[in-house]
Amino acid sequence: MTGYFHDIAPIRFEGADSTNEFAFRHYDPDEVVMGKRMEDHLRLAVAYWHSLAYEGADPFGGRTFDRPWYGDTMEAARRKADAAFEMFAILGQPYFCFHDADVRPEGATFAESRRNLDEICDVFAAKMEQTGTKLLWGTANMFSHRRWMAGAATNPDPEVFAYAAACVKSCMDVTHRLNGENYVLWGGREGYETLLNTDLGREAEQAGRFLSKVVEYKHKIGFKGTILIEPKPQEPAKHQYDFDVATVYGFLKRFGLENEVKLNIEQGHAILAGHSFEHELALAASLDMLGSIDMNRNDYQSGWDTDQFPNNTPEIALAYYEVLRAGGFTTGGTNYDSRVRRQSLDPEDLILSHVGAIDVCARGLKAAAAMLEDGGLERARQDRYAGWDAPGGRALLDQPLDEIAAAVEAQGIDPQPRSGRQERLENWVNRFV
């Protein structure tokens, strides 16, 4: 025990009437929802970077937090690991996620950084065996250090491309060793600041070859997890190449990787791209690309990624509706890519932020399951597209244009509009949320 969390007891489920702020009111890991334990549906994970590495900085001010594990030494990294697994135990969460730079100090050389990561991997392995906590996914931070300012895979300097390949190889090795269930690639600097010095075609080819090498290495080492790309339209780059689900799918199709890679979809990134969270999830599911989710929210009055903890049950219900409708998670899960506000200084804030978010997700999951079991939305969809399931509708897709045109005239086809019934369906959703 580090003592940092003031001996907070493990969080337990106490029911909706509980007034104990250090208790779950809706998240009961053993509650059965649609034939599966709630814990197994949600597959909740704590984000190492926001919960342990974030120092409270924003674009206009520096560090506000004072955590005893801050520092650029391996001793500090081990203290951070102690605090992390103490926090995981308090929350009772089955998974965590990390970037390499979150968990080890940067070395003077790549070899030293790799050794630091391998050393902390030993620490993690021991703690995971002791506690039963598992790794949802690992990833390499290829956006913070100045070497990445013009990108990693898409960098104009081949040496940066090579360094990025070495970083991903190292982090994949550790993820594999820790039995991680996914490996994530997020291209925060894979984009451009200006077109004046950018060769779009060259950078796309570099990105495609880099991802192909990642997939090849996955198979070479026998990693059974899923490779995930996390879309985001901008920030830190002015324009990122992994803009949204549709853009990434087109990229994967172009390079023949659509059967090798799936998507890690974040609520805040969907909003930045001008979409809703459920839109990105529904589109990914329709393309068989839904892998995992980063759960958070953005401040709707801000124009940037604020990474706040989720608190909107209706929105989350619609998100989990798409997840359940697609069959639920396999290797993926719900990672809280969320951070406390820079004025939230107390250790208790780290715990209570997760408690509230977990309860909101539990409520959203149960509402989503109730909607799916009721079947109202599915019946409405079936009714709306019923004509396409009739013999004439199915045949239409195979007919040439001139035959269709002739049939319209011969049969006097004069289609009449039908109500989309949006308000009725919105009222129906409100019965559950």
Collapsing DSSP to helix, strand or coil, 82 comes out as helix
State yes or no: 40 annotated in a binding site. no
Residues present in the chain in total: 433
Positive/negative CA dihedral, 362, 363, 366, 372: negative
State yes or no: 176 annotated in a binding site. no
Catalytic residue chosen out of the listed positions 26, 28, 41, 102:
102
State yes or no: 294 annotated in a binding site. yes
Answer yes or no: 199 catalytic.
Answer: no
CA distance 312 to 309: 10
Catalytic residue chosen out of the listed positions 26, 41, 50, 99:
99
How many other C-beta atoms lie within 10 A of the C-beta of residue 120?
A: 22
Answer yes or no: 28 catalytic.
Answer: no
State yes or no: 266 annotated in a binding site. yes
State yes or no: 349 annotated in a binding site. no
**Burial track 187-218 (b if 16+ CB lie within 10 A, e otherwise):** bbbbbbeeeeebeeeebbebbbebbeebbebb
Rounded to a whole number, what is the distance in angstroms from the first to the last CA of the chain?
Answer: 39
- Contact of 209 with 162, CB cutoff 8 Å: no
State yes or no: 305 annotated in a binding site. yes
Collapsing DSSP to helix, strand or coil, 71 comes out as coil
Identity of the amino acid at 165: A
CA distance 144 to 413: 61
- Residue 383 tokens, joined: 């009714």
- Contact of 76 with 70, CB cutoff 8 Å: yes
| 61: Cα within 13 Å, side-chain hemisphere | 7
CA distance 395 to 397: 5
Collapsing DSSP to helix, strand or coil, 335 comes out as strand
Which residues carry out catalysis?
A: 99, 102
Q: Where is the binding site for Mg(2+), in residues? A: 230, 266, 269, 294, 305, 307, 337
Q: Where is the binding site, in residues? A: 230, 266, 269, 294, 305, 307, 337
